[in-house]
Amino acid sequence: MNLNLRRGLPTRRDPGQKRIITMSALVTVGLMVIVCQLWYLQVLEGGRFQEASDKNRIRIRPIAAPRGILFDRNGAPLVDNRPAFTLSLIPRELDRDPDKRDAALGRLSALVQIPFQELRDVVAKTSSDSFLPVRLRRNLSMEEMQKVEEWKLELPGVIVEVEPQRVYPNSRFAAHLLGYVREASDDQLKQGRYRRGDMVGQSGLERLLDEFLRGKDGGERIEVDAMGRPMRLIQSTEPHPGAQVVTTIDRRIQEASEKAMEGHAGAVVVMDPRNGDVLAMVSTPAFEIDRFTGSIDRDAWLRVMKDPEFPMLNRTIQSQYAPGSIFKIVVAAAGLQEKTLTPADRTYCNGEFQLGTWTFKDWKREGHGTVDTLDAMRHSCNVFFYQAGLKIGGAAITKYAAAFGLGQATGIDLGTEKFGLIPQPKSRLRKAPAFQAGDIVNMSIGQGQVLVTPMQVARFMAAVANGGVLWKPRLVQRIERPERGVVWSDSGTVTGHVELNAAVWAFLRQSLWAVVNDGGTGAGARIPGLDIAGKTGTAQMIANSRADKGQDHAWFASFAPVKDPEVVVVVLVERGGKGGQVAAPIARKILNAIFFEKVASAELQG
Amino acid sequence: MTALGGIDRRLLQNVDWPLLGAMGGLVVLSATTLASLHIGRAGGNVALRQLAWFALGLLALLIVASIDYRRLVRLAPMFYVIGLAGLVTVFVLGRTVSGARRWILIGPMSVQPSEVFKICFVLMATWVLTSRWAQPIGKTTLALTAPVLAIPAVLIIKQPDLGTAILLVPVLTALLVGAGIRLQLLGGLALAGLAAMPVVWFAALREYQRERILVFLDPFRDPLGSAYNVIQAKIAIGSGQLLGKGVAGATQSRLAFLPERHTDFIFAVFAETWGFVGCLVLLTCYALLLLRGFDIAATAREPVGRLIALGVTALFATQVLVNVGMVTGLLPVVGVPLPLMSYGGTSMLVSLTALGLLLSVRMRQFQ
């Protein structure tokens, strides 16, 4: 630059001029410093500021994918989604003045009944710079939503979002089977598969199939201005809903079974003996599945956890009971097949059986008189089976029990299954060569150490009904994705065979028919016009407990029709009393619903 | 020679065209930048108003340039009193904008008396320094100039308008240096000023002003509060990178993340839009303008012209350095507009009047 500073005063060099040149040099240095700063900001750090500028203007708004739906075998939904209102907070849009912010939070606290301290904790936990909505409460009622909307202007940073949420036919419907869905817990978040606020299946099928049921969340990239107002949609990704699951459950039978169990603690399993399909799975008391979805307050949670009735327990697979007289079917099958027992064997039952110094009593104090094998099954005569058991021997009984799958996991997909227990010959003392006689006597009527789950009994009864095929209980038929069709399917798995002579099968069926239809202990399950076969059982909880005092577990295991069985119904009522008096009538209601209420129900639905 | 009528041909020969070229370039850059912001009731509104003010300012420039600056300096005390009166008026009739009373309404226009006062101050300081009472330049001169600075400074700080008040100090310093004050004396004064800093900090500065200085020292002290402007400005400038984002891509400015983007922070908008290369062009314009100003001062034939030119140039230089320094994060945020670039009628009018003074000195260099 041609400054030509000396042009004006060619002859004199006054000190003022020098000073002015110095000052102009200083200003030039100042400008150079600014150029250096600009080089630093724009060229050296430009990329970083570019990112910061994008972060400023682009907001990502997630759109929750609806969770997959579970259907019953006929296409009726077991669980569905509905839009629900979620109350959320955008930390960045809250008032920056702490006093004003607290005033807004206080108002919100009063409107929706969330403790003020809880709201403050949420705010304290999140970065005040974040635009990502933080959920305060899911499933806001319509009334609460309206209140919040009315006060919207006084509540900066508070928004109501619409998100899909689980809805159930009723509050406890198939609670153990379906399982509940909740926000990912801190532990689950640590595994890294979930983001905060993700809904995750926590039990039952929801947990088992979570991978499939969880869809892929979509989202929108939005350009916003400094006030956070959306200006332009940059990119939008549609959410992909979760897969649809077709289960083996029959919603009608499930509902009928739950209704039949009302007021009782226990379990019901309804199974198709032809393929192992689980048509109904009921465990009572059930927890309120809809209250577990979303946020449940601590008190309610503790109440459920500390309930002496253990509503979280799935009694069909997680509780073990002595099978009681149901086990007589195994003993009879073992004896008849091993020829240590014949249908013609007779015993006089006077109500008790003497073994050394021990006295084993029949459930009927005065005894059954002279009974043959079929009578003993029909009337569930203990004395006959004490003697038969001793003749057959412990090893043969446990061998057949194991063959029928008792004391073994059924392999049902839900997991968390209990194994049950069939005592092995050497279980008591290592040196003892075989069972003690007393053990065998106890085992012959399904007491002592024998433990089974209702699901095992159902599989066992299905094998009796279908001639020896052990099916793995099937819960899920197939999983379909909207765009890809079937992604998983299960056509049923046979896990074992019980080989018995045709005559033995025929005898078992005949005797079990007689239990219900020929004046036996299962008469309470009898339905005219339907051939039901079944066996009662009364499992002693403690030695010398009294069934008539309601201290024993009541069993009834049945299948129908006897010719070409279609369903197996197993009922267990905890502390219900005698199987014939308590469990059999429940099974009757369920069977009645299955075979005779179909039309009426179809009309109601149609 | 008359004031307005027939302008002497010799005067016209000495018109400083590079200075006017730099000025024209800056006004064009200002108008395009303002037009890109779409502020106001309709797009381009601010830019059009800026150009209207420029036209008015150009008239003022011509008038001032055609008058002999010595006549204006002789009237300096009158201008100074009028300027002070304007500052006082603000307290009575002032319009409050974001907590500060800086404007008064005259008809449809709002005028910023503290802007107008800058020129009055340069004239007055020149008048005092060239008066015979001030000779020889020394302690007596300092005593004479002290009230010239102190009275308006107090009034302006009370508005509050820290930025304008701070400008007066370097302008007066430059004038004292140019007038030939002993540098030891000035150094002593600077040391005394430094010693008085704590007193100023607690007694004179307001809470928000202190906060701004603290934020300058640590921008992440309060990222959404007082530091917001600084951070957003840095993001805007930095994200412009080498070549800029262009008008459509300048999201920091367009989406209003940048506060005061048409006034004090307009440099950040320009930097985001045109990048480092654009900034070099802009700063070159300012460098040309300032160096021409210093040249006019250095080549002035007599002390009045020299001091007038020096004062005006120092005023420009300080505003440019302080404004760009604060927007780029080199200095704390004080409300100083970028002359010729920032939107503001009074500022534009005053800047052009000041340039008119420079031209006046240049044109009468060889008389």
Single-letter residue type at B60: A
Q: Supply the DSSP string of A480-506, one letter for each residue.
A: EETTTEEEEE----EEEE----HHHHH
pLDDT tens across A123-169, in order? 888 777 777 778 888 778 888 888 888 888 888 888 888 888 888 88
Residue A19 contacts B where some CB pair is shorter than 8 Å: yes
Confidence of residue A297 (pLDDT cuts 50, 70, 90): low
Measure Cα distances from B26 to A152, B16, B118, B351 in Å.
46, 16, 20, 12
Query: Which residue from A21, A24, A38 is facing B276, i.e. has the nearest CB?
Result: A38
Lowest mean pLDDT among A47-61, A77-91, A454-468, A523-537: A47-61
Lowest mean pLDDT among A83-97, A252-266, A368-382, B45-59: A83-97
Minimum-distance CB partner of B255 among A24, A57, A96: A57
Given an 8 Å threshold on Cβ–Cβ distance, is B275 in contact with A42?
A: yes
Q: Which of A4, A7, A34 sits opposite B330 (nearest CB)?
A: A34
pLDDT score recorded for residue A167: 86
Closest chain B C-alpha to A49 CA, distance in angstroms: 5
Every domain of chain A and the residues it spans: 1-44, 60-247, 251-287+315-601
Q: Which residues of A touch B261 (CB under 8 A)?
A: none
Question: CB-based contact (8 Å) between A23 and chain B?
Answer: yes
pLDDT-based confidence at residue A69 (cuts at 50, 70, 90): very high
pLDDT confidence of residue A7: 46
- Give the pLDDT band (50/70/90) at residue A588: very high
pLDDT given at position B220: 57
Chain-chain contact of A4 with B295 (C-beta, under 8 angstroms): yes
Mean pLDDT over the full length of chain A:
85
Show the 3-state SS of A292-320. Answer: HCCCCCHHHHHHHHHCCCCCCCCHHHHCC
Question: Of B269, B288, B289, whose CA–CA distance to B278 is shortest?
Answer: B269
Contact (CB<8Å) A57/B257: yes
CA gap A122, A553 in Å, rounded: 48
Band the pLDDT of A598: cuts 50, 70, 90.
low
d(Cα B114, Cα B87) in Å, to the nearest integer? 6
Give the best residue of A38, A44, A94 to mutate against chain B (max B CB count within 10 A).
Answer: A38
Determine, for residues A16 and B178 on separate chains, whether the beta-carbon distance falls below 8 Å: yes
Pick from B251, B286, B302 the residue to mutate for testing the A interface (most A CBs within 10 Å). Answer: B251
List of chain B residues whose C-beta atoms are within 8 Å of the C-beta of residue A225: 255-257
Distance, in Å, from the CA atom of A368 to the CA atom of A390, rounded to the nearest integer, reads 19
Cβ proximity of B353 and B184 under 8 Å: no
Q: A130 touching B, CB under 8 A? A: no
With b for 16 or more beta-carbon neighbours within 10 A and e for fewer, the B102-140 pattern comes to: bbbeeeeebbbbbbbbbbbbbbbbbbbbbeeebeeeeee
| Nearest chain A alpha carbon to B287 | A28
Residues 6+ apart with CB under 8 A from A15: B180
Helix (H, G, I), strand (E, B) or coil at A66: coil
H, E, C per residue of A565-591: CCEEEEEEECCCCCHHHHHHHHHHHHH
Nearest to B276 among A6, A17, A43 (CB): A43
Give me A231's structure tokens. 């200006």
Model confidence over A506-545: pLDDT tens digits?
A: 999 999 999 999 989 999 999 998 999 999 999 876 555 5
Q: Do A128 and B224 touch (CB under 8 A)?
A: yes
Contact residues, chain B, for A1 at CB < 8 Å: 287-288, 291
**Residue A72 scores a pLDDT above 60:** yes
Residue A7 or residue A445, greater confidence:
A445
* pLDDT value of residue B136: 81
Structure tokens at A219: 């989202």
Q: Report, in angstroms and rounded to the nearest whole number, the Rg of chain A calculated over CA atoms.
A: 36
> How much is the pLDDT for A426?
60
Q: Tell me the three state secondary structure of residue B11.
A: helix
Q: Which helix (H) or strand (E) holds B359?
A: helix B345-363
How close B32 gets to chain A, by Cα (Å)? Answer: 21
Cross-strand partners of A165:
A82
Rounded Cα gap, residues B133 and B128, in angstroms: 8
Segments in chain B below pLDDT 70: 1-10, 38-44, 94-102, 107-109, 204, 212, 215-227, 367
- Cα separation, A226 vs A27, in Å, equals 36
Specify the pLDDT at position B222: 54
How confident is the model at residue B41, as a pLDDT?
Answer: 44
Contact by Cβ (8 Å): B95, B105: yes
Residue A531 CB neighbour total at 10 angstroms: 17
Find the residue in A nearest to B331 (Cα): A34
Contact between A223 and B251 using a beta-carbon 8 Å cutoff:
yes
Percentage of chain A beyond pLDDT 90 is 43
User: What integer pLDDT is reported at residue A8 of this predicted model?
Assistant: 43
Distance separating alpha carbons of residues B343 and B321, to the nearest angstrom? 18
CATH number of A60-247: 3.90.1310.10
Q: For residues B162 and B208, give the distance between their C-alpha atoms in angstroms, rounded to a whole number.
A: 11
Structure token pair of residue B83: 């300027």
Q: Please give the backbone phi and psi of residue B96, each rounded to the nearest 5 degrees, phi first.
A: -90, 120
pLDDT at A603: 45
Nearest CA in chain A to B293: A24
Q: Is the link from the previous residue into A91 a cis peptide, with omega within 30 of 0?
A: no
Best to test chain B binding among A11, A12, A20, A94 (most B CBs inside 10 Å): A20
Which residues neighbour A269 within 8 Å (Cβ) at sequence distance 6 or greater? A278, A280, A281, A282, A316, A454, A455, A457, A458, A473, A568, A569, A570
Helix/strand/coil percent split, chain A, to 5: 40, 25, 35
Is A199 in a helix, a strand, or coil?
strand
Is A39 at the interface with chain B, CB within 8 A?
Answer: yes
DSSP B212-251: HHHHHH-GGGSTTTTTHHHHHHHHHHHHHTTT--HHHH-H
Residue A221: what residue type? Answer: R
CA–CA separation, B270 and B36 (whole Å): 10
Report the residue of chain A nearest B310, measured CA to CA.
Answer: A20
DSSP state of A113: T
Please answer whether residues B364 and A8 qualify as being in contact, where contact means their C-beta atoms are separated by less than 8 angstroms. Answer: no
Chain A CB contacts of B314 under 8 Å are 23
Q: Is residue A323 a contact partner of residue A443, using CB atoms and an 8 Å limit?
A: no
pLDDT for A41-58, tens place per residue?
999 988 888 888 887 777
Report the C-alpha gap between A596 and B341 in whole angstroms.
90
Residue A24 has pLDDT above 80, yes or no: yes
Interchain CB distance below 8 Å, B298 and A45: no
Residue among B236, B251, B291 minimizing CB distance to A3: B291
Give residue B55's pLDDT. Answer: 94
Predicted complex ipTM: 0.90
Range in A61-75, A375-389, A450-464, A490-504 the model is least confident about: A61-75
Residue B296's nearest CA partner among A13, A9, A30 is A9
d(CA B35, CA B250): 13
Mean pLDDT within A279-304: 81
Average of per-residue pLDDT across A191-205:
81
> Averaged over A233-238, what is the pLDDT?
80
Distance of CA A515 to the CA centre of its chain: 35
Cβ contact, residue pair B255, A224, below 8 Å: yes
Instruction: Tell me: pLDDT of A548 over 80.
Output: no
Q: Do B328 and A16 touch (CB under 8 A)?
A: no
How many other C-beta atoms lie within 10 A of the C-beta of residue A21? 17
Instruction: Give the residue with greater pLDDT, A173 vs A5.
Output: A173
Whether A52 and B297 lie within 8 Å, measured CB to CB: no
Contact flag A20-B310 (C-beta cutoff 8 Å): yes
CB A443 within 8 A of CB A402: no
CATH number for the segment(s) A251-287+315-601: 3.40.710.10
